[in-house]
Amino acid sequence: MSTGPSAAAGSTAAALRHVLSHLVTPLLMCVGMGLAYLGAFHAPEPHDLRVDVVGSGPSTQVLAQTLQDKGDGALSVRTVPDRATAADHLRTQESYGAYLPGRSPELLVATASSDTSATVVQKVFTEVAAGQGAPLKVTDTVPTADGDPTGQGIFFLLVAVSIGSYASVAVIGGAGAVLALRIRAGLAVAASFVVSVIGAVFAGPLFGLVDHGLGGLWAMAWLYSAGILLIGVGLHTFLKRWTTLGVMVLFVMLNFTSSGGIFRPELQPGFFGALHSFWNGAGFVEGVRSHVYFGGHALGRNVLVLALWFVAGLVVTALAGLAERRRRDAAPATGVASAAGGRRPAAVEEAGAQAGAGTGAQGGPEEQARSEAVSSSTEVSNEASVEEEMEETVGV
């Protein structure tokens, strides 16, 4: 009787240690998300934002130099000879605004490239035109689809596809732990197909984020999603319960903030601008923009980025397969896991041995019931372990 309170206190302490150890993951996620999102978005400031001034006379040169000097590194101002050249630069995303000075000044922008960059450019040249005593006419040379007036719908599509992808990693890595890696990899590819189809439905018939090029958008969504899923499934072999944090760092914290969906790299700190050049979220966002709005300019480069991340997923999955094979080969026969792939608790092992011995010796109903209870206990333990790992991976 005296052992009751002591056992209860020990059980409570063990449960508390278990909870506290698992709180490490959400706390690290909190720190990481704060550093990433606030670091990338809290104070957008332009740096080397390319704009053109149209004209070739001395007054044009003076205006361009004045803007360059006054901007103190915020703008990269160049002169172009005519309107057609300026419009071509906007269509190829070589600039984000073109100012035509004169009695009726005009500003050319391309909101499909970045609505926030166009807004910054418009603010700068509205002040310039006001200094010349004239209202500014703004012409959008590459507008977005009617269903995406802010031009940020592609970014939120990225968020949806990303969440569908890395959450699927939780299910495949947790509930699918009993399956061979080749089956898990196949499930990853299949899940990426479903996620990409859902994304295409969102972008096209449901919300009208794009008014053409839906097939190409779906293909890039599948390539993007498959890369995430294969990398996540492969990493799960090595990270286990830390897979949550790993995929969130890769595909949320660093990914969303460097994608250019809200602010282009010219409005962000240099770290995120550097990631923009090769991260998979940027490849998807810029690839869709290029495909839908800019006639495929630089599309090949963005597709290459997505393809390389897909190849990285294949490599990580292959390495995971080698690691799992070595573990199986190294494990002694007595230490091989049950269906879930883990060792049974010592108490269950001992109880199983006793039940087996009793069954072999007597074979009575009591021994059979004990054996069934041990088997049930093992299954419950395995299921609980898998469920806990799934919750860890999802981030619940």
- Written as six digits, the tokens of 192 are 């990426």
**Cβ-based neighbour number of residue 335 at 10 Å:** 8
Specify whether the CB–CB gap between 351 and 267 falls below 8 A.
no
User: What is the residue-averaged pLDDT of the chain?
Assistant: 86
Provide the pLDDT confidence category of residue 312 given band limits of 50, 70 and 90: very high
Chain segment 143-155, per-residue pLDDT in tens: 999 999 999 999 9
Instruction: Give how far Cα 81 sits from Cα of 25, 85, 100, 159, Å.
Output: 57, 7, 10, 41
Give the residue-averaged pLDDT of 100-123: 95
**Could you tell me which residues come within 8 angstroms of residue 99 by beta carbon, excluding any fewer than 6 positions away?**
51, 52, 53, 54, 105, 106, 107, 108, 125, 128
Least Cα distance to 229 among 203, 190, 199, 256 occurs for 190
Query: What pLDDT shows up at residue 331?
Result: 79
Which residue has better confidence, 23 or 307?
307
Provide the pLDDT confidence category of residue 14 given band limits of 50, 70 and 90: confident
Q: In the chain, which ranges are E strands?
A: 49-54, 75-80, 98-100, 106-109, 137-140
Provide the pLDDT confidence category of residue 359 given band limits of 50, 70 and 90: very low
Provide the pLDDT confidence category of residue 9 given band limits of 50, 70 and 90: confident
**The pLDDT of residue 171 is above 60:** yes
**Cβ-based neighbour number of residue 297 at 10 Å:** 15
Chain segment 175-223, per-residue pLDDT in tens: 888 899 999 999 999 999 999 999 999 999 999 999 999 999 999 999 9
**The pLDDT of residue 333 is above 50:** yes
Measured between alpha carbons, how far is 104 from 100 in angstroms, rounded to an integer?
8
Q: In 81-222, which ranges are E strands?
A: 98-100, 106-109, 137-140
Query: What pLDDT shows up at residue 320?
Result: 96
Chain segment 93-109, per-residue pLDDT in tens: 999 999 999 899 999 99
Provide the pLDDT confidence category of residue 295 given band limits of 50, 70 and 90: very high
Chain segment 38-55, per-residue pLDDT in tens: 999 999 999 999 999 999
Query: What pLDDT shows up at residue 175?
Result: 85
